Amino acid sequence: MDTGNGSSEALIRFRLDSRSGVPAYRQLVDQVRHAVALGVLRTGDRLPSVREVVTQITINPNTVHRAYRELEVAGLAEGRPGLGTFVVERGKGGGHGPSEQQGALLAELRSWVAKAGSAGLDIEGVQALFAASLDEVAMPGETGETPHDEKRGRQ
Amino acid sequence: MTWFAWRTQRLQVLVAIGAVAVIAVMLVITGEAYRSAASSPLLTSPSCSTGLSLNCANAFSRLGQANRWVGYAHGLVLAFPALVGVLVGAPIVASEMAHGTNRLAWAQSVSRTRWLAVKLLLSGLAIAVAVGAIVPLLAWWAGASQISRLYPGDFDVTGTVVLGYTLFAFMLGAALGAVIQRVGWAIAAALGVFVGARLWVESFRAHLVAPVSVVLPNGIGPLYSATGLFSVDSPLARGWVLNQGYVALGRTTPAPGQTWTTEFERFQNCFLSISRPRAEALSQCSAQLKLHYVIQYQPLSHYWALQGAESAVFVGAALILLGVTVLAVRRWRT
Amino acid sequence: MTWLAWRGQRAQLVAIVAAVAVFAGWLALSGTADQSAWLAVSHCGQHCSPLALNRLSSADYWTSPNRLVLTFLPGVIGLVLGAPIVAREIEAGTNRFAWTQTIGRTHWLVTKLLVAGIVAAGAVGALDPLLAWWTGAVRNGPRILPMVFSVTGFVDVGYALFAFMLGALLGSVIRRTGWAIVAGVPLFVAARAWVQFSLRAHLAPVATFAGGLPAGSMIVTPSSVSIAYAPEPSALMNDWQLNQGYVPVGLHGPAAGQTWSTGWNALNRCTGPFPNGNLQVLEQYQRRTQHCIASLKLHYVQQYQPPSHYWRIQTAETALFVGAALVLLGLTVFVVRRWRT
Amino acid sequence: MNDTATVIATSGLSKRYGRTWGLQDCTFNLPRGRIAALVGPNGSGKSTLLRMAAGITRPSAGEIRVLGSSPLEQPRDVLARIGYLDQERPLYKTFRVSEMLRVGKELNRRWDDAKAHEYLEDLGIPLASRIGKLSVGQQAQVSLTLCLAKRPELLLLDEPVAALDPLARSQLMQVLLGSVTDEGTTVLLSSHALADLDVVCDYLIILSSSRVLLAGDLESLRAEHRLLVGPRRDRSNVPAGAELVSATDTERQSTWLLRAIGSITAPGSDMVEPTLEEIVLAYLRQQPAGSHSRLAGSRDLSLADDPLDSGEQVRAR
């Protein structure tokens, strides 16, 4: 375990898409989530320090603090004073649904995408439909934000 | 372009012209004060020639006062060609370079040479006209205040040399400004070089025009001065005596390897060793040692020739500096 | 901060000191030449060779240009070093850096002024011992006389400090180094001239000389007849003579509301015009003059400053200029403290 | 707000230059710990405001308190605790970099020499170089280092990245943000690089024509504003509860910036949270052209009354 070693190389590097319209803190949260989902980050891994993130991607330190706080609230990370912020076991603080349910949803979505493809929709078309339905159906978000706060892809 | 040149330099040029005007006023006041003090009939009246009368003392003190003021004006005239020239000349290129505005100017379709020529011509002409205008005034002032015209120090404040000095100082400031690229240091350097150049030229001024020699016959010299030699009206008295001394008969200058004073001691020893009437002793020594006394001097009639020659020297130097400035500006790259 | 003050003006300070050193060397050289030329002449007396006379005239030629330079030197040094203190910073915008640091503006300014001011005063003051020797070597004349007074003693340090502060103040007001110097020159010259011509004579109690040769006594020599109306005792030769004339007996100057010429004019009206004529006529005129002086109750008074007042006047004039410099310092501090864009 | 939470507080702050206003009736509070962007067109009063905060410009009216003190009355209290970077980034051009650091050390009570050296070393700026020989970017870094080494509580940066190349800009911001993260410094910086500011700043002050158009927490401002993109809409058809800030309409399409507290809907149109750039541009667009810095208040000059603007733009508030 290199968890206590503050000087160790950061395991992930954040990047920001300033054109996406997605708030920066949300991008950071999403990137940690993806990394965890893809197995890039595992329990006990240290997230880059706020200073590292700030100087890497020139971002407001408060934004990084906020993203990490959000991850903590979501139970994905844990701040250890003086050491840093660490990825914790999922489920510890609730959050994501059971994985078997996720698998079913994924299978459903895949078949829907295949249907859309045979109906002649290209990737953009699929994305637009997906985004529009996300917009209209209120998701029970962890943050309890209003629907229009959700991300919106734009050209 | 002319407007541009004027717009960037008008403050300096106007201040310089103002300073020249102040000097002109100063010249009129001091010259007139001296003239009126010196023309007081009291000074030549018998009361003053025989001794001191009450009014006479007053007249003399007035003359002394006027003379002091003439002295201050003299100092100003001595200093102003350098100050006016350098202060107007130095910023012409240097201040543009210091502010980087030359990069703007030289990126336009006007060539650098033309840009420089217009700027130099405009302010150069302005101060030349201003200084040129007081040259006649200086001649009047020198006459009114009865300063000698040929002697060093007096020669420098009258005639066309004043204009020559100004143009030289102006181009010196401009050239050093273009080379040093800093106004302050260019001014300091230019003033130093100007003083050096003036002193150097002054050291050979006497030979810019061939001097005249007076040969005194029969050993007559300082050991027995001929009456009238230095009287007020003699050309010698009004001229500028450069050298004098015993030299070999047939020569008007010391023999090679000798100075004007080499033979004096020999002649004096001879003179003192002969116990005969003075004139005879002098004559005998002159024949015996084959020496005669020569006084070399510049007569007043050479005044304008000397003025012309020295002005030409400084104007020529200014032209060389013009070339240097043009070269520096044309070759300038950051 | 002292280091910054030095570093910021290093080039100018060194240049000025070097220039003064070069001039001092020149002064020593030309002064030595002139001194030995004078010595040679004073030894040969009546029988001076042209060699000695030529040497003297060529060496002595430099005396008055040198004195001219010395007259303006403190002013030039002071203005050149003083004007950039604030103006240069404002020109370069660096004041916006310096004045937003923790150090106070007053502290910043006073340190800069102190460092450059000490150099300015030191450069001028270091010349003073040399000048004391030089003025004697080139026979400048009594040092109480105005032109000599101004280039000897320590008053030049006062001039330098005054010019320095004048430059600093003008620089902080005009905010341009060049124009500050240009504006400073006439102001400095005016201040110097005003003090020298109007004020200096009264910086120490004026000494008066009354009487001396009986007025109107006649001096007869084989070739001429002179009548000494204004006695000129040789004792006054080394003094700085201020005013002279006939004033009412008991007074050492003109009575209130009168000038020095009042007495001259009254006496002149009484004696009538100077006569042309032989000795007898002149003797009559002399008696008439004596009679007039007595009946008008006048006596001859000469006002002067004796050489013994030299240091007293030096101190007073130096104090005057240093005091003015302090006032200018206060104004400069005020201007700098108030500076806002 | 109390003094410990507010770093800069202005009220009715105004500056008049002869007949024109440099800043007019400026009132805002900058909370501690923020990185605030000060944006607006050239001549809108950004430098004037920063200079007044640094105590080198005297307000004509109103009041400004920096870290609880008046920069004019108590300059010592303020200057020791702020780092001010002037627009012209003044440095002694003939000094060497090491000498410039010494200047900073001598002029400040609090000075972190090790940190200053570390910054410059990291950036590869040779200490022996003369300032005048450095690139513009390096000079900017030296200027910033001089500010940071004071370990100020508040940084006032007037266009710190202007005229820098993208790499230098990014490096400068990295140094700045790194230091701010360590020290918790509050920053007020003016800039024209709006895209860069978006993720860097969390507080926004928009100045235009020497007036404050908008000031507040960036996140809240984002939440309060919506960018409506959709088929052309009539101006009268502003969604309920919303206020039109500025509109750009084409024949077929409308792009509106709306201000609304709470949720609003506009069926058929996209409704997205605007970026900082979109908010700034929308607010600046609503200002009538040519009204900059007039002595006569431009405050009451409603765009709707301006025949030339033909209702293209609508004023907020």
CA distance C237 to C212: 14
Please give, rounded to a whole number of angstroms, the shortest distance from the CA of D118 to a CA of chain A. 15
Chain A, 44-63: which have a CB under 8 Å from a chain D CB? 50-51, 54-63
Co-location of C167 and C233 in the same domain: no
The confidence band for D62, taking pLDDT boundaries of 50, 70 and 90, is: very high
- CATH number belonging to domain A1-92: 1.10.10.10
Domain ranges of chain D: 6-209, 219-309
Inter-chain touch B260–C50, beta carbons under 8 Å: yes
The CA–CA distances, whole Å, from B187 to B12, C36, C178, C203, D95 equal 14, 36, 10, 38, 23
Residues A45-62, mean pLDDT to the nearest whole number: 89
- pLDDT for residue C45: 64
Residues C275 and C331 in one domain: no
Write out the residue range of the structural domain in which residue C302 sits.
Answer: 207-308
Closest CA relative to residue D303, chosen from D253, D225, D246: D246
Helix (H, G, I), strand (E, B) or coil at B264: helix
Do C101 and C140 reside in the same domain of the chain? yes
Kindly state the average pLDDT of the residues D162-175. 90
Compute the average pLDDT of residues B182-197. 92
Domain borders along chain B are 2-206+303-331, 212-298
Which of A146-150, B70-74, B170-174, C266-270 has the least mean pLDDT? A146-150
Report residue C161's pLDDT band, with 50, 70 and 90 as the boundaries. Answer: very high
The verdict on C78 and C199 lying in the same domain is yes
* CB spacing of D90 vs C103 below 8 angstroms: no
> What confidence score (pLDDT) does residue B56 get?
67
- pLDDT at D308 (0 to 100): 37
Model confidence band, residue B217 (pLDDT cutoffs 50, 70, 90): confident
Cβ contact, residue pair D106, C99, below 8 Å: no
C174 with C243, same domain: the answer is no
Q: Give percent above pLDDT 90 in chain D.
A: 47
**Which residue has 């800030």 as its token pair?**
D245
Joined tokens for residue D231: 């088929």
Residues from chain C that touch B53, judged by Cβ atoms under 8 A, are 227, 229, 274
**In the complex, which subunits touch A with 3 or more CB pairs below 8 angstroms?**
D
Could you report the per-residue pLDDT of B12-52, keeping only the tens digit for each? 889 899 999 999 999 999 999 999 888 877 776 665 655 44
Write the residue in C93, C104, C105 that is nearest to D86 by C-beta. Answer: C93
Residues 6+ apart with CB under 8 A from B290: B248, B249
Cβ C103 vs Cβ D107: under 8 Å: yes
| Mean pLDDT for chain B overall | 85
**CATH 1.10.10.10 spans which residues of chain A?**
1-92
Q: Tell me: do C295 and C318 sit in the same domain.
A: no
Over range D37-45, report the average pLDDT.
91
Give me the mean pLDDT over the B109-123 stretch: 87
Distance from CA of D212 to the nearest CA of C (A): 21
Alpha-carbon distance B145 to D54, whole Å? 62
Mean pLDDT of B146-159: 85
Residue D212, both tokens:
């404050």
Cβ contacts of A72 within 8 Å, gap of 6 or more = A78, A79, A85, A93
Contact at CB, C177 and B54, closer than 8 angstroms: no
pLDDT computed for residue D60 by the predictor: 92
Query: Mean per-residue pLDDT for C5-21?
Result: 93
Chain C positions in Cβ-Cβ contact with residue B243 (cut-off 8 Å): 54
- Choose among D99, D107, D110: nearest Cβ to C98: D107
Does C303 have pLDDT greater than 70?
Answer: yes
Helix axes B303-331, B161-180, angle to 10 degrees: 20
- Asked if C48 and C145 sit in the same domain, the reply is yes
**What is the pLDDT, as a whole number, of residue C293?**
82
Fold for domain D6-209? Rossmann fold (3.40.50)
**Same domain for C177 and C288?**
no
Pair D227, D294: CB distance under 8 Å: no
B299 in Cβ contact with B235 (< 8 Å): yes
C with D: how many residue pairs have Cβ under 8 Å apart?
A: 72
Query: Which of the given ranges, B68-72, B305-309, C217-221, has the highest pLDDT on average?
Result: B305-309
CA distance B183 to B174: 9
pLDDT, mean of residues D105-109: 88
Q: Neighbours of B (≥3 Cβ pairs closer than 8 A)?
A: C
How many domains is chain C partitioned into structurally?
2
Integer Cα distance of C241 and B61 in angstroms? 11
The one-letter amino acid code at D104 reads: G
Same domain, C181 and C260: no
Considering only residues B240 and C273, tell me which one the structure prediction assigns the higher pLDDT.
B240
